[in-house]
Amino acid sequence: MNKPEFLESGAPAAEVEPRLLVQRGVFVGMSPIVNDDLYVAFRKGSGDRERHTLRLDAGARAHTNTYFGRFAASYWQRWTTVTEVRVSLRAAGSGRFRVRLVASDIAGHRRIVGAVAGSGDETVELSSPLDKFVDGGALWVEIDALDAPLTVDRLEWTAAAPETVRPVAIAICTFNRADDCAKTVAALASDDRVLEVIDAVYVVDQGTDLVRDRELYGEVAPRFGDKLHYLRQPNLGGAGGFTRGLYEVSATDGHADVILMDDDILCEPETVLRLNAFANVTVEPTLVGAQMLFLLNPDYLNVGAEDVDLGTLQHGQRVPKALRNTSMLKKNQERRVDAGYNAWWTCLIPAEVVAKVGLPIPIFFQWDDVEYGVRAREAGFVTVTLPNAAVWHADFYWKDFDDWARYFSTRNSLIVGALHSDLDTKRLGRQFFRQISEYLVGMQYGLAATTLRGIEDFLEGPKVLQDGGIEAMAAIRAERADYPETVKHDAATAPVRSADLTTRRSGGEPSAMRLILVKRAIDQWFGRTQHGLVNVPREDAHWWHISLFDHVVVTDASQSGVRIRQRDKGKAIALLRRTVRVLRRLREDGAAVSRQYRDAAPQLTSRANWERLYEQ
């Protein structure tokens, strides 16, 4: 067990109340692509910023009412044993200064909790009870350099420490993203205080382009000492990579929590400290997730908190009142929003959860984090997505929906629905038929086939999970190769004549979608479409617009190339017949197959099964 972090670590233990460091003042991001106003902002005047040091010019005012600067008081009051929080900082200068501790409520109204005026070099401490934040609100500091330059450092938020502070292990899963993974490991190694709370780091490499061969990885590895563990294994997807971390930690230390962390993130080390501190003082063991900011638009939040609708097999659903796709330079999440699960771009799993509910299910990719969050909640463990703790991850809307991953999303959503709900196969049959019909009229035959294969393999029962997904990934990629529109081409060299292209923009969304779908299907069937090549930008690539034509060049969502769709009545007929057969099977056999998955779940999630998969 680690000793609690003390505010004044050099003072004798008998003379200081044990305080847990829960958040630090961070004033500069880890990358130049990040706007430092996410950490601290100047309301008046200017100054200079370093990672943990802030300098204000004479007359300047700075505040931490920013994404990373705020203390999420509502979440700490609702979910932890903490009843009071203190903030301290060291001020140095030759003039007068003022420090305010400020709070907000659910509506964002500002109120001053405490204030200190001083001069010269002083250590300032202010505190606030956590008693007015149940539904929302946060705390932050405002600093004024009244008549001379001022330097501020050692800004620390602390709370009463528990008897013991549990360490945290980190598991990073990677597959042929060696450069990205090495940068993530280096980010963790860059922060001494974070290294103190880390018990172990597991880099689970499932690829052929190895992380350990990167110069950067070799440079930073010694900083971890014997805490860094590099593991090789077959490519078992995110589920297999992350589970390996849980598998290893739960075998060696029954008291260490585990943070699952993507390899391709821009890592903010402070997030590790905040997740770990929060988890150490929750009333009950709690999954604590970081939020996701967009990597290509770094001040934008993906979503404040997510949930899943198992009735419609829709994950990533925005919790009501949560911010989504919002610039965190312009708005703060004042209202507390409670998550149903947290994705595994960065998420802390308590040791008690692993001990009680077991390991994840080997579904390779997609929905593994959803399933584990749902299973944990069924066992009595909630998930908290903690504001002001985040990493940057690739923007989802830059990924094209027509991808091999759609197979796993379809198959695994059905598996998760079968494990944790009573699948309404009639309703789902109608839902899938509508989706696939839209794909067909939009000339996305490969996407339709990919979705159908996901349903078919679900209906095969638990045996499809016996190899951890390796064969399924190879099979779906091979099957998609039969559909030319799944191939991305360079826009300048695509196999079409640029001179033949005319751009056709959408005229707006129709009001009667079902009727339009029927009309478009009939027109496609009889060839009553506009002939010749047309070009459609990504923003207009809706099925109801694409289906007006029979040969379309569509910009890929990644903006790195184009896809070429062409009407093929023969493929459409074959896929429609296949759809009818598959959905009839889903209605007739869905309940029995669901029982098979529920019966097999204990074996699928067992240590013995995962050990078998790792030794393939």
Kindly list the catalytic residues: 369
Distance CA 360, CA 387 (A): 25
Tokens matching residue 377: 């909640």
Q: Which of 289, 299, 368 is nearest to 329 (CA)?
A: 299
Task: Tell how far CA 136 is from the center of its chain.
Answer: 22
Six-digit token string for 558: 């990644």
Assigned token pair, 575: 């896929």
Q: Which of 272, 34, 280 is nearest to 170 (CA)?
A: 272
Residue 165's Cβ-count burial label (10 Å; 0-12, 13-18, 19+) is buried
Three-state DSSP class for residue 55: strand
Compute the distance between CA of residue 410 and CA of residue 457 in angstroms, rounded to an integer: 10
3-state secondary structure 188-204: HHCCHHHHHHEEEEEEE
Pairing assessment for the beta strands 96-104 and 228-232 based on DSSP bridges: unpaired
**Cβ(335)–Cβ(135) under 8 Å?**
yes
Give the ranges where 423-537 is alpha helix by DSSP (H).
Answer: 425-441, 445-459, 470-480, 513-526
Residue 485 is classified by DSSP as G
Task: Give the closest residue to 58 by CA, choosing from 150, 143, 184.
Answer: 150
**DSSP-based three-state secondary structure for 303:** strand
Residues sharing a CB contact under 8 Å with residue 567, sequence separation 6 or more, in sequence order: 443, 524, 527, 529, 550, 551
